[in-house]
Amino acid sequence: MRKIGFSNEKYIELQSKYIKERIKQFDNKLYLEFGGKLFDDHHASRVLPGFEPDSKLKMLLELKQDAEIIIVINANDIENNKMRGDLGITYDLEVLRLIDAFQNIGLYVGSVTITRFENQVHAIAFQKKLENLGIKVFRHYPIAGYPNDIEKIVSEEGFGINDYIETTKPLVVVTAPGPGSGKMATCLSQLYHEYTHGIKAGYAKFETFPIWNIPLKHPVNLAYEAATADLNDVNMIDPFHLEAYNETTVNYNRDVEIFPVLESTFKKIMSTCPYKSPTDMGVNMAGNAIIDDEACKEASKQEIIRRYYQTKLDFKRGLVDKSAISKIEAIMLTLDLKATDRKCVNHALEIEVKTNEPGFAIELNDGHIITGKTTSLLGSASACLLNALKYLANIDDDILLIEPEVIEPVAKLKKGILKNKNPRLHTDEILLSLSISANNNENAKKALSCIEQLQYCEAHSSVILSETDIDTLKRLGIRLTSEDKFQFNRIYQK
């Protein structure tokens, strides 16, 4: 069974309590820059087994009477139709999704702020759309010399030209659809305006990774470096914290680099800086909720290997430079990891060697390995999925879950009328066929009832799968990797 290394309950309790304490340090007004994902934080759930993807959201619900949310979006990202790669939607649509998601669980979205606004046509249209939906919208503008020209920035010609965002709650969570949206600048601008209104507000940063109170080279922190291998970001010892407290803590290189500027900005706004280090600014308590360090280490090592395979795919698709692969390879060397230290990998590759066709393998949560081979009607992933459900439902391997008379008409439809060169059923089609069979077939019904047990399972394919299969396996909660090669040697792939 999957080892739990993180206490979600402890985390929510500690985190909400700590944020409440930070609010009290100021004039009952705290701007909290929320880094990373509020929803669907699957990276955290993978490296901290026991962390639920919506843990941070549940933590905010503990504070919902005192909290409101500002969502910020960069006008240039609206103009350029910037996409969220994991969801496949543009940043402006992600803002709408976030508003719905927050409001559906009872969190108050006070407004949306469009940053770096310069009368961009699509940004103006987006503002009108939001206002027609009853959402307050504010504008922030580019400031020449930001962030280094402190004298100009903290003045009427700097933050003073930005709209003052009207807020009503003690805790203001500033979040965004993605990086580069302007969360920090929005928080600092609000501090400037609050102080001109006589309100001694404060600022803090909530970033789950790197975890400040575990070692720099801990696999959890190295897994975060692997996740950001395409960026020029590294974890490092916080030198300001070490000097101030003689205590070693871990922080993000960009936060360390910007701290002297922030310190000067705080002093200009507040007359003093409330923090002695970037670590001081943070409120993350995730490290205090680790209950099994070895389980988290092992989970993080597996995440690093998964990132290695994914980055190789991204390179093949032209999404990252080769340096990203080299960076993860260096991390793997540090931890003495090999790509084959992922149990399902060799099993999938062995199937391909034996059959000369794509192979697939799933490592179930009990450690058992299930394989699937390519047949005339099923792709290797579809075959493996059926075999795994048979095992979980304790059904003999030679029993058919789906009769050929159910599969064959679908295959004929694909190849004949739909003109698909590949008649084999994808994973979504095989699940639909299984659902149909479950009406009259008790074994199919039993197998279908086990489908939730596939969550957290590890899987590997000897070839790059179709987007349909990748999406289906992701929805099932299966952690998929694959070799960086297509089944067919051609330039155009679909």
- Looking at 96-105, 109-118, 414-423, which range is the least confident one? 414-423
CA distance 435 to 427: 12
* pLDDT (mean) for 442-449: 94
Same domain for 241 and 351, yes or no, is no
Residue type at 51?
A: F
- Which pLDDT score is estimated for 492? 45
Residue at 348 is within a domain: yes
Residue at 315 is within a domain: no
Average pLDDT in the chain = 92
Same domain for 255 and 381, yes or no, is no
∠ at Cα 263 (245, 190), nearest 5°?
130
CA distance 420 to 423: 6
CB atoms within 10 A of CB 58: 16
| Among candidate residues 244, 274, 289, the one where a domain is terminated | 289
CA distance 64 to 66: 5
What is the token pair recorded at 135? 């959402």
Residue at 85 is within a domain: yes
- Which pLDDT score is estimated for 401? 87
* pLDDT (mean) for 208-235: 93
Residue at 330 is within a domain: no
Residue at 472 is within a domain: yes
Asked if 269 contacts 198 with a C-beta cutoff of 8 angstroms, the reply is no
| Among candidate residues 289, 319, 352, the one where a domain is terminated | 289
Percent of the chain with pLDDT over 90: 78
Closest Cα to residue 365, out of 448, 479, 456?
456
Same domain for 229 and 349, yes or no, is no
Q: How confident is the model at residue 385 (pLDDT cuts 50, 70, 90)?
A: very high
Residue 197 pLDDT > 80: yes
| Among candidate residues 289, 309, 330, the one where a domain is terminated | 289
**Cα dist. 124→12, 94, 162, 179 in Å?**
39, 17, 16, 21
Residue at 294 is within a domain: no
Same domain for 45 and 174, yes or no, is yes
- Looking at 40-44, 151-155, 307-311, 460-464, which range is the least confident one? 40-44
Percent of the chain with pLDDT over 70: 96
Residue 27 pLDDT > 90: no
Residue at 192 is within a domain: yes
Q: How confident is the model at residue 463 (pLDDT cuts 50, 70, 90)?
A: very high
Residue 144 pLDDT > 70: yes
- Looking at 39-43, 231-235, 418-422, which range is the least confident one? 418-422
CA distance 299 to 294: 9
Kindly report, residue by residue over 6-24, the tens digit of the pLDDT: 999 999 999 999 999 999 9
Same domain for 348 and 283, yes or no, is no
Residue 1 pLDDT > 80: no
* pLDDT (mean) for 318-329: 94
Same domain for 145 and 280, yes or no, is yes
Kindly report, residue by residue over 48-77, the tens digit of the pLDDT: 999 998 888 889 999 999 999 999 999 999
- Which pLDDT score is estimated for 160? 96
CATH number at residue 82: 3.10.630.10
Asked if 48 contacts 290 with a C-beta cutoff of 8 angstroms, the reply is yes
Same domain for 397 and 262, yes or no, is no
- Looking at 30-34, 83-87, 96-100, 335-339, which range is the least confident one? 83-87
CATH number at residue 385: 3.40.140.40
Q: How confident is the model at residue 39 (pLDDT cuts 50, 70, 90)?
A: confident
Residue at 333 is within a domain: no
What is the token pair recorded at 16? 């909400």
pTM here?
0.90
Same domain for 477 and 402, yes or no, is yes
* pLDDT (mean) for 409-423: 69
- Strand order across the beta sheet in which 369-373 lies: 369-373, 359-363, 458-461, 479-482
Residue 89 pLDDT > 90: no
Same domain for 367 and 282, yes or no, is no
Number of domains in the chain: 2
Same domain for 127 and 238, yes or no, is yes
- Which pLDDT score is estimated for 487? 74
Provide the domain limits for residue 216. 8-289
Same domain for 218 and 346, yes or no, is no
What is the token pair recorded at 456? 């957290």
Same domain for 101 and 28, yes or no, is yes
